Amino acid sequence: MPRYAMMIDYDGGPFQGWQRQAQGQPSVQGAIEDALARLEPRAHTIAAAGRTDAGVHGTGQVAHCDMDKVWDPYRLSQALNHHLRPLPVAVVACAAVPDEFHARFSAVERRYLFRLIARRAPLTHDRGLAWRIGHPLSVSAMRAGAAHLIGLHDFTTFRSTMCQAKSPVKTIDEITIDEVPLPTGTEYRFRLRARSFLHNQVRSIVGTLERVGAGAWDPARVGDALAATDRAACGPVCPPQGLYLTGVGYPDDPFA
């Protein structure tokens, strides 16, 4: 069966996450599998690089599918986008890949962005697309706190109690924090890069760093929380609507 990799862009707001739901609730995976069934009538199962939670967005999610016939990748993406309308899901790139390619297990890097906007007024255009807080943050303090998390660590403190990963030990390769002035406030952009992440790890980290930026935590407390390997030592977990899966890396880029 010919295999195809798809790069997928979606607004996670209307969905109960990436993964197909047993109760029939809307999911991104379910929407794409239903569109595939319109092209080749049968049950389809696709695999993705990351199973994002309810409300989390994707701009560079990667999934793969197996088809019965050979498709031109561009025509396959266009046909899927036709059947995905009017849902906020789009296949932005598609490529034929070898049978051994697996969107999840072949990945060597995942990149996330978290958008946080500080302003007093509620969000309008960015409602559902960013986390709003009412106070400014110290970028230098947050960078100092984030420095404790770079490298190989036991991230028990920063993972959900429902996380199914076999080990809490992960390596974070990069955390960058940028400050972008807005006409009515400031946007803070957190970018994290690692081979893989634990359940709720990014949201736990950003929620904790927000406390550092607000002055409620000293930056050194992030290192203490990490060393505690205790979920109770974590700061607040930030809401999902500011989180985006922005990219997935492979040894050979299927979309190059």
| 53 catalytic per annotation | yes
- What tokens does 40 get? 């080749």
CA-CA distance, 239 to 160, in Å (whole number)? 13
Asked if residue 65 lies in contact with residue 44, where contact means CB atoms within 8 angstroms, the answer is yes
Q: 96: exposed, middle or buried (C-beta count within 10 Å: 0-12, 13-18, 19+)?
A: middle
Please spell the DSSP secondary structure of 170-200, one letter per residue: EEEEEEEEEEEEETTEEEEEEEEEES---TT
- What tokens does 193 get? 């890069």
Phi, psi dihedral angles at 87 (to 5 degrees): -65, 150
Choosing from 34, 53, 173, 253, the catalytic residue is: 53
Catalytically annotated residues: 53
